[in-house]
Amino acid sequence: MRAVAMVAVLVSAFGCASQSPASNVLVFTRTTGFRHASIPAGIVAIRELGAQARYTVDATEDPAVFNEARLAGVKAVVFLNTSGTVLNDDQRSALERWIRAGGGFLGVHAAADTEYEWPFYGELLGTWFARHPAVQTATVHVIDRAHPATSPLPETWTRTDEWYDFRAQPSGVRVLAEVDESTYTGGSMGTHHPIAWTHGVGAGRSIYIAMGHTEESYAEPLFREMLLGALRFTSGDAPTP
């Protein structure tokens, strides 16, 4: 009887572990403007990172997913290189309610080239895309390494990407990393050129990473670590110091 009881305990324990709930990450990639060739590579990377963190990851271009019933099972929404106007008014309202109620949002690269006519989206991102020079190598200064998205990164990080300028400096945000304009040509933001930042929106969390233009980005170990930390943060699984 004792052996049977022990087996029952072990089965119960392992059963509970295998059935532990996973976060549902929704990756949205709709474009009505420029479409990045790196979107498929980004989806693959986020799926792999999600599996590593035991998240379920769904990727879609269908804006109909932005409704109360579907978002009820989601912990993090990722706008991966979206562009242009991608949601109608009802879908916008559903996403805004979900975020203000405690949802997590991660915007990657061209997420800032999205929904220019929606004031809440500007609040969610912190600013919008303005222009960019050619893809080139530059130096990133990680100025806040306490955040889950940047804690794995070195203080100085040299990499190749498309370095966005923005319509304005993001306001009311916690800047995580800046690109050094003295290390590349064509930047126009000045001494402080943020390329990753985070802030709260209602009870929700938002983080934006301006990098991620190239397919190669999504194979870079450090960039993947940054994305993984951002996913854990937006899902509410990594506390923010």
Residue 5 in domain: no
Could you give the CA distance from residue 241 to residue 89 in angstroms, rounded to a whole number? 35
Domain count, the chain: 1
Residue 185 in domain: no
Question: Which CATH number covers residue 80?
Answer: 3.40.50.880
Residue 10: what pLDDT? 38
Could you give the CA distance from residue 124 to residue 99 in angstroms, rounded to a whole number? 9
Q: How many CA atoms lie within 13 A of 142 on its CB side?
A: 19
What Å distances lie between residue 217 and 80, 166, 178, 223, 240, CA to CA?
13, 21, 17, 7, 25
Q: Compute CA 178 distance to the chain's CA centroid, rounded to the nearest angstrom.
A: 17
Residue 13 in domain: no
Could you give the CA distance from residue 114 to residue 117 in angstroms, rounded to a whole number? 9
User: Taking the model in full, what pTM does it have?
Assistant: 0.91
User: What does each of the 241 residues of the chain score in pLDDT, given as a tens digit?
Assistant: 444 343 343 333 333 333 344 569 999 999 999 999 999 999 999 999 999 999 999 999 999 999 999 999 999 999 999 999 999 999 999 999 999 999 999 999 999 999 999 999 999 999 999 999 999 999 999 999 999 999 999 999 999 999 999 999 998 999 999 999 999 999 999 999 999 999 999 999 999 999 999 999 999 999 999 999 999 999 999 877 7
Residue 1: what pLDDT? 41
Strands 24-28, 76-80: pairing kind:
parallel
Residue 17 in domain: no
Q: Which domain range does residue 36 map to?
A: 22-128+195-234
Residue 31 in domain: yes
Q: Cα(first)–Cα(last) distance of the chain, in Å?
A: 49
Residue 61 in domain: yes
Residue 8: what pLDDT? 40
E strand or H helix that includes residue 44 = helix 39-52
Residue 17: what pLDDT? 36
Residue 219: what pLDDT? 99
